Amino acid sequence: MYELRAVTKHYTRAKDTVHALDGIDLTIPDGDRLVIQGPTGGGKSTLLQMLGGLDRPTSGEIVLDGTDLAALPEARLTRVRSESIGFVFQAFNLIPTLTAQENVETALVPLGMKPKQRREQAAEALKSVGLGERRAHLPGEMSGGQQQRVAIARALVKQPKVLLADEPTGNLDESMRDEIMDVLERMWEELGLTFVMVTHDSVIARKAPRLATIREGRISVKENTRA
C-alpha cells in the first residue's frame, strides 16, 4: 500500500521554478487499479517516477508498505525498485543489442537468481505475453506491439508488488494499441498486483475502479461507478 503525504516536486530552470507536483495526498491500497489521466505537463509522469523510486520528491513522504521511499538511502531504494516495482514506459526502453529473452532476464539479475532459473522464468514470462516463439529476436526485429509486450514481460517477470505503466500505448498505432491493452487487461485480471497506469485509452479507463486526474500538480480521485 502506498501512502503519499504532501508530496511536492519542483524543477528549477534558469530562474523559473516548475511545480510539477504541488501537494499530493494519495492512498493506493494493495491490489488497487488506479488509472491516471490529465493534460500534458500536468505531472503524471513525475508522479509515476516518485511512486517507482526513480526520482525523489522535493518534499513530502512516499510510504510504500511502511517505508518512506523519499528518505531511503540509494542502495536500499535500488533494492526496493528491483524487487517490488515493475515499470512499463511509453518508449519501451528495451536494450537494442539484447534478445527478447535477454532483455527480460535483465530484470532478474539484481535478484541474484541462478542463470538456469533466470532463463526459465524469463521464458515463462515471454510465453505469458504470447511471445514464446520470439525469444531469440532483437527489439529491432519486432513490431512496436511486440516490443511493448517484451517490456511488459520484463516488468512482470520478477513478480513485483506494483506495476507502473506510463502511457504504454502512446507510441503505438491502433491495432497494436488493442494488442497491448488486451495483455494489460489480462494481467490486471489475473495478477493481484497494485496497478497504476497513466493512459488516455478510454477502454482501460472505463474498467478502472478508480480514476485520478492530475492537473497543474494537483490530484483528484474519484471512484468509477461504471467499472
Ligand X SMILES: Nc1ncnc2c1ncn2[C@@H]1O[C@H](COP(=O)(O)OP(=O)(O)O)[C@@H](O)[C@H]1O
For Mg ion, the binding residues (CB under 5 A) are 44-45
Q: Which among Mg ion, ligand X, none contacts residue 52 (Cβ within 5 to 8 A by kind)?
A: none
CB of 127 to ligand X, least distance (A): 32
Q: Which among Mg ion, ligand X, none contacts residue 18 (Cβ within 5 to 8 A by kind)?
A: ligand X
Q: Which among ligand X, Mg ion, none contacts residue 20 (Cβ within 5 to 8 A by kind)?
A: ligand X
Which residues of this protein are in contact with ligand X, per CB under 6 A?
11, 13, 18, 20, 38, 40-46
CA separation for the pair 26, 41 (Å, rounded)? 19
Nearer to ligand X, 69 or 153 (CB): 69
Nearer to ligand X, 11 or 185 (CB): 11
Nearer to ligand X, 41 or 110 (CB): 41
Q: Which among Mg ion, ligand X, none contacts residue 42 (Cβ within 5 to 8 A by kind)?
A: ligand X
CB of 73 to Mg ion, least distance (A): 28
CB of 221 to ligand X, least distance (A): 16
